[in-house]
Structure 1
């Protein structure tokens, strides 16, 4: 089953019984990037009562109720992200308390509605696992290999020229395309390309 991430960050604001809930759904690479974004949100909203969040990022997922009663904020946000088959996404809801207590059920609904409202306008894109392939070739094969890379829309991460007669290219491509790329590069260079993961 495919997983998705977001094409761009989205936000929405709801007012529920005088409390403001500002929801953000942001594509992130990993937990470190998510924590950086959370710090920025807290700095942007110093008077906020809570900044609750959930993160789906492969093995780096997590959540926080940030002072709300346990299970009333982070878990509902996480469930909405899961319901949308998302990965590589931080869901965060900034709450300004309006003076009216919502109770546990009301809080769960408020956090669920806030993040779900933000996701209504989100463009989802399929998240495709990427892999890197290191290709070492002679100068004579470089133009041919670079043409192949353009045709296959392979991303060049880095390139370097050795002191001898070689070129080292680091390619990024969908993990599912690595075996076919190895075969194509071997054929293209008549077996001269050295390939490493």
Structure 2
């Protein structure tokens, strides 16, 4: 069962005069990862190494450290903790003592691992994309339903009404489908992105 983390956690430690700082950050999309990496960009660091995992997609970056000594050990700690939808960024400020490849692997993996010991793990509930259309007069009722159930959505106003895209948890589908049919008196139905 996959888990993600509730909120961002920071952990710092010194290893042979180098300072390591790890951020464990919850993320949902690759676009969000790009934004987070820009936000956390710190030009005072010697290296900013990271790894992320969203579902089956993974990426890592050694940022100038010897290949396989930073990003891959960070990714290993993410996978070892059965986490997904997470980015772990480890900053290093070089302190003048070379750590060697084994030392780097232990320092990056260890700092990431200690940061992950501090996180609140939450079960990841899979979400699906759905959409529906409704008349202008029906939209306030359906909008209220989405807001009450903490469903993320976007609406687009057309000449004939409102077209709505939403991201729902799988278990919410039946209830929302029923609500759409009730409010539109059977005229409209909830569709998934994989439906025809």
Fold agreement, TM-score > 0.5: yes
Superposed CA RMSD: 2.7
Which is worse superposed, 4-13 or 133-142? 133-142
2:78 alignment counterpart: 81
The answer to whether residue 188 in structure 2 is matched with residue 193 in structure 1 is yes
In structure 1, how many angstroms separate the alpha carbons of the residues matched to 2:94 and 2:152? 49
- Shift of residue 87, structure 1, vs aligned partner: 1.3
Which has the larger share of helix?
1
1:80-115 residue CA offsets vs partner (Å, 9 max, x unmatched): 111122112111111111122222222111112211
Does residue 155 (structure 1) correspond to residue 154 (structure 2)? The answer is no
Query: TM-score of the superposition, structure 1-length normalised?
Result: 0.80
- Structure 1 position 122, deviation (Å): 1.4
- Does the alignment pair 1:20 with 2:19? yes
Alignment length, in residue pairs? 192
Q: Does 1:123 align with 2:120?
A: yes
Deviation at 1:9, TM superposition (A): 1.2
**TM-score of the aligned structures, taking structure 2 as reference length:** 0.80
Deviation larger for 31-40 or 82-91: 31-40
Q: C-alpha separation between the residues in 1 aligned to 2:137 and 2:93?
A: 64
SS in 2 for 1:20: strand
**Residue 181 (structure 1) aligned with residue 176 (structure 2):** yes
- In structure 2, relative to structure 1, the CA distance for the partners of 1:160 and 1:70 (3 Å cut) is closer
Question: For the residues of structure 2 that align with 1:47 and 1:146, how far apart are their CA atoms?
Answer: 46
Q: Which runs of 5+ in 1 are unaligned?
A: none
Q: Equivalences for 1:62-141 in 2 at 5 Å?
A: 62-138=59-135
Larger radius of gyration, structure 1 or 2? 1
